[in-house]
């Protein structure tokens, strides 16, 4: 992000986007603490809830439930585990995936503006494709692939848990989970929307570029162009992918609520 902010020639609109992106990064960092604290509070005050590691120590004699020291120890352990996992995952999600995707989008937008005023030619698109190749090499098989599966799943689980906690009367913990849900929702929308925007913009630019080709070499060059694609596994993000992902999350969350009603 320091490298991105260092360019004084970027337009004001793009600088505003970088400011919003940085604020979102800080909100994600706050989310590490909020989720960890919420999990520790669950272990401390509701230790026998399904899904918590402390349920293994719950018994009919209520030894663990009545011992404050044991509950505090497990709450601290859960907090540390979630903080370590959140910080490690946050590095790959924020620093590598989200920043790399946003940088690719801004670089391609800069190229399109230069091409429209005839500062850059069609071969400049190859340099953007090199950046796309490097980014896909870093995120395709592991980071983006796992993120595309885990973050929507986390979004479904957190929204379901927040609604259940709210109906059970635990408003404070439900509020923390709702904050985490908003972060997961914002991250999913931002990640897939930026990737879809890159694909749509590059597809439109290639269509416009092919209409201006006159020489035989230019036509062959234009036919060799393909849209920029951010890949996860054997798939890639298309224009409608963000809507498909959110529809899937809403359907699964509603199904969980109906099953557990």
**Looking at residue 252, what is its pLDDT?**
92
Would you call 249 helix, strand, or coil by DSSP?
A: helix
**Looking at residue 13, what is its pLDDT?**
55
Percent of the chain with pLDDT over 90: 14
| Beta strand spans in the chain (E) | 231-232, 235-236
Place of tokens 């597809």: 203
Question: Six-digit token pair at 227?
Answer: 């849209």
* Tens digits of residue pLDDT in 167-224: 888 787 788 788 888 888 988 988 899 899 999 999 988 888 776 656 777 677 777 8
Mean pLDDT of 254-260: 88
**Looking at residue 6, what is its pLDDT?**
47
**Looking at residue 174, what is its pLDDT?**
83
Whether 246 has a pLDDT exceeding 70, the answer reads yes
Please, what is the average pLDDT of the chain? 80
**Looking at residue 51, what is its pLDDT?**
62
Burial class (CB in 10 A: 0-12, 13-18, 19+), 175: middle
Whether 5 has a pLDDT exceeding 50, the answer reads no
Whether 41 has a pLDDT exceeding 60, the answer reads yes
* Tens digits of residue pLDDT in 105-154: 888 988 888 888 877 777 788 889 999 999 999 888 888 998 899 899 98
Distances (CA, A) of 241 to 96, 98, 130, 187, 228: 21, 16, 24, 14, 15
Whether 234 has a pLDDT exceeding 90, the answer reads no
Q: Is the pTM of this model over 0.85?
A: no
Rg (CA), the chain: 23
Angle at 16 between CA 12 and CA 18, to 5 degrees: 115
Question: Six-digit token pair at 215?
Answer: 């020489």
Angle at 98 between CA 94 and CA 100, to 5 degrees: 110
**Looking at residue 31, what is its pLDDT?**
72
Whether 60 has a pLDDT exceeding 50, the answer reads yes
Q: Please choose, from the candidates 157, 42, 36, 123, the residue with its C-alpha nearest in 3D space to the C-alpha of residue 86.
A: 36
**Looking at residue 199, what is its pLDDT?**
92
For strands 235-236 and 231-232, give the pairing: antiparallel
Range scoring the smallest mean pLDDT among 45-54, 67-76, 92-101, 107-116: 45-54
**Looking at residue 2, what is its pLDDT?**
46
**Looking at residue 187, what is its pLDDT?**
86
Residues 6+ apart with CB under 8 A from 213: 219, 221, 222
Whether 34 has a pLDDT exceeding 60, the answer reads yes
Distances (CA, A) of 68 to 37, 43, 55, 224: 17, 11, 15, 68
Whether 248 has a pLDDT exceeding 90, the answer reads yes
């Amino acid at each position: 992000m320091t490298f991105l902010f260092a360019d004084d020639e970027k337009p004001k609109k793009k600088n505003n986007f970088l400011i919003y992106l940085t604020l979102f990064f800080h909100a994600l960092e706050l989310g590490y603490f909020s989720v960890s604290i919420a999990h520790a509070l669950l272990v401390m005050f509701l230790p026998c809830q399904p899904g918590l590691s402390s349920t293994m120590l719950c018994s009919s004699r209520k030894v663990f439930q009545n011992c404050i020291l044991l509950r505090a120890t497990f709450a601290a352990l859960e907090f540390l585990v979630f903080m370590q996992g959140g910080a490690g995952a946050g590095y790959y999600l924020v620093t590598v995936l989200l920043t790399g995707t946003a940088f690719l989008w801004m670089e391609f937008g800069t190229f399109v503006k230069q091409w429209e005023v005839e500062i850059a030619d069609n071969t400049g698109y190859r340099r953007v494709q090199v950046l796309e190749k490097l980014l896909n090499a870093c995120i395709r098989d592991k980071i983006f692939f796992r993120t595309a599966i885990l973050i929507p799943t986390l979004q479904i689980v957190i929204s379901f848990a927040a609604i259940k906690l709210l109906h059970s009367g635990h408003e404070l913990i439900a509020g923390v989970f709702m904050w985490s849900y908003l972060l997961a929702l914002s991250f999913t929308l931002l990640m897939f929307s930026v990737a879809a925007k890159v694909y749509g913009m590059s597809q439109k630019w290639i269509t416009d570029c092919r209409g201006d080709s006159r020489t035989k070499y230019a036509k062959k060059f234009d036919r060799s162009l393909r849209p920029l694609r951010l890949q996860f596994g054997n798939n890639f993000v298309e224009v409608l992918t963000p809507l498909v992902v959110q529809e899937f999350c809403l359907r699964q969350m509603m199904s969980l609520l109906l099953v557990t009603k």
